[in-house]
Amino acid sequence: MDIKYSNHPDDVKRYTTDELRKHFLIENIFTADAVNLTYSHIDRIIVGGIMPVKKTLTLTAGKEMGVDTFFERREGGIINIGGKGKIIVDGIMYELGYQDGFYIGKGVKDITFECVDAAAPPRFYFNSCPAHHAFTTRAVTLNDAKKVHLGDKNTCNQRTINQYVHPDVLESCQLVMGMTILSEGSIWNTMPCHTHERRMEAYFYFDMDEQTRVFHMMGQPDETRHIIIANEQAVLSPSWSIHSGVGTGRYTFIWGMCGENITFTDMDHIAMCDLK
């Protein structure tokens, strides 16, 4: 498990491009027949990918977590961006198709992942954060997700927010998670931008052509920075940082938040004239 530590905004102002990428970008999410996880000290989120092809994969707790089982003191969310796959939770099997989601409650002891067709393996994108209460483990399809339509064609940010792990869909402790699909011709996400001092956020960009890149904006509103992101890469956003991006072509992104609350609308909006 890779480890990333917290960073003070005054320090980040002085980071080089390589340092920004080292501390905030997660470049390798999926590897065939492997579990790739990054443990961040920003609200102790775990971000990663689980890709079974020929092997059955298991989530186990490492030394970084200090517990016997992965979900002993955690909850988790998954959105599948690949082919059909199986998740077996304490002996109960769930099958997830493309863009299906899954919530894992605190207290789950055994969880494994399997492929249905090795020619089109699942790609389980995963977020996890600490939890203090056990809520029901369940699958959430794209149709189950709450739909929020935002933006406008004239500002190139027309999009549909699909809320999978959200109070209007299911109960969770700290995790809120969903997927935003941009309309044809729109390239901006979350602009005008915002911060939320009470929660961090991770973005995972995918569904991009090989040459497409997203310019992900981060930093304090008066000290913005950017990280250039390729397909199937993730970026961490501390609570003090804006998080917004613009693509050179089509893309979709999955967002996950954890921290003080699960109130989706708890955000501090930034006027365009205040960005620097």
Its pTM stands at 0.96
One-letter amino acid at 256 equals G
Evaluate if residue 171 carries a pLDDT over 90: yes
Query: What was the pLDDT predicted at 265?
Result: 87
Q: For residues 145 and 1, what is the distance between their CA atoms, to the nearest angstrom? A: 30
| Strand duo 214-220 + 244-247: pairing | antiparallel
Helix, coil or strand: residue 128: strand
Task: Tell me the per-residue pLDDT of 118-131, one tens digit each, with 9 for 90 and over.
Answer: 999 999 999 999 99
Q: For residues 46 and 131, what is the distance between their CA atoms, to the nearest angstrom? A: 13
The total number of residues written for the chain in this structure: 276
Alpha-carbon torsion angle 150, 170, 200, 224, nearest 10 = -10
**What would you report as the CA-atom Rg of the chain, rounded to the nearest whole angstrom?**
18
Which pair of tokens denotes residue 56? 């059955």
H or E stretch covering 8: none
Per-residue pLDDT, averaged over 21-35, amounts to 98
